[in-house]
């Protein structure tokens, strides 16, 4: 586990984007797992800037998004399809046929649909680098507390806490989705490398529990402790409850000397 601490959200987004840009440059056909949420805004903004100003080429990449609200069409401004289009895809040269986002409009045969999403990931050769945010309750994707740590892509019922967090982005009075299609924890853990970004004081508890707490389905991000290659980038506020700061700083310093391309 590598922890990179940044002063604020701007620098966190830039640091994440530079790791991903390095990975794309090393492997132009990289398969990326992508995430949504407000934490990702500075990250995608910097990727777009690198495309425009430093010729970062997205034409060979293949992407799989983590999740989507059930019941929202791609045209809905709060859908993750819309978010990805607005914040990344319409600004870069990724090929539409290489972009995969779970379909929130499925209305039947959910298991079959979710298995087909898993199959598409396998057919592409698996995910090389998975980007994650984290929920206030420690969820990754929409894997709410008590999700099986071996879970696969499926429909998940959202907790009240998550629905309340999501409500802030919807119009007053508008119905907020109660369910989502999400990659499972088992799906996420199969990615070869994982990069999790967290910003703000509302994430301080979940980050401390994910990194330093016990592995538990009550904080699904803690399952990342079982993954061999995870990098967390957190800002000061999100890292405020971590205890082993000196150790993380030494790991970062020595890793950047030994394998600078990772950072």
Give catalytic residues, as residue numbers. 67, 137, 139, 144
Burial 168-190 (b: 16+ CB within 10 A, else e): eeeeeeeebbebbbbbbbbbbbb
Q: Which is nearer to ligand GLP, 67 or 235 (CB)?
A: 67
Starting at the edge strand found earlier in the chain, the sheet holding 179-182 runs 67-69, 179-182, 154-157
x/- letters, 88..127, toward ligand GLP (CB under 6 A) = ----------------------------------------
**Number of chain positions touching ligand GLP (CB under 6 A):** 13
Residue 124 CB contacts under 8 Å (≥ 6 apart), including other chains: 31, 62, 64
User: What is the rounded distance in angstroms from the CA atom of residue 149 to the CA atom of residue 190?
Assistant: 12
**10/57 with CB nearer ligand GLP:** 10
CB of 135 to ligand GLP, least distance (A): 5
Tell me if 67 contacts ligand GLP by CB under 6 A: yes
Residue in 102, 250, 245 with CA at minimum distance from that of residue 182: 102
**Nearer CB in complex with ligand GLP: 80/248:** 80
Out of 16, 37, 104, 138, which residue is the one contacting ligand GLP (CB under 6 A)?
A: 37
**Minimum CB distance to ligand GLP smaller for 122 or for 168:** 168
Q: How far is the C-alpha of 200 from the C-alpha of 53, rounded, in Å? A: 29
Contacts of 112 (CB under 8 A, 6+ apart): none
Within residues 131-170, the interface with ligand GLP by CB under 6 A covers 133-135, 141-142, 162
H/E stretch holding 158 = none
Residue identified by tokens 């299609």 is 181
Interface residue with ligand GLP among 23, 39, 121, 224 (CB under 6 A) is 39
Residues that bind ligand GLP (CB under 6 A): 35-39, 66-67, 133-135, 141-142, 162
């Amino acid at each position: 586990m590598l922890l990179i601490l940044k002063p604020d959200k701007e620098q966190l987004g830039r640091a994440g984007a530079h790791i991903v840009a390095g990975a794309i440059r090393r492997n132009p056909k990289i398969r990326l797992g992508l995430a949504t949420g407000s934490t990702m805004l500075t990250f995608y903004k910097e990727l777009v800037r690198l495309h425009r100003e430093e010729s970062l080429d997205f034409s060979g990449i293949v992407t799989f998004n983590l999740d989507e609200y059930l019941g929202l069409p791609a045209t809905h401004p709060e859908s993750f399809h819309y978010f990805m289009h607005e914040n990344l895809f319409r600004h870069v040269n990724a090929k539409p046929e290489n972009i995969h986002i779970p379909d929130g409009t499925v209305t039947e045969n959910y298991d079959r649909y979710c298995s087909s999403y898993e199959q598409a990931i396998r057919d592409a050769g698996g995910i090389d680098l998975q980007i994650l945010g984290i929920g206030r309750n420690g969820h990754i994707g929409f894997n709410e507390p008590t999700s099986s740590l071996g879970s696969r892509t499926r429909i998940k019922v959202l907790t009240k806490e998550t629905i309340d967090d999501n409500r802030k982005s919807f119009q007053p009075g508008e119905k907020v989705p109660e369910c989502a299609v999400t990659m499972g924890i088992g799906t996420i853990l199969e990615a070869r490398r994982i990069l999790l970004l967290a910003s703000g004081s509302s994430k301080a508890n979940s980050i401390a529990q994910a990194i330093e707490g016990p592995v538990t389905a009550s904080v699904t991000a803690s399952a990342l402790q079982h993954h061999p290659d995870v990098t967390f980038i957190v800002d000061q506020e999100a890292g405020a409850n971590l205890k082993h700061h000196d150790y993380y700083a030494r790991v970062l310093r020595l890793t950047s000397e030994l394998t600078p391309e990772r950072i």
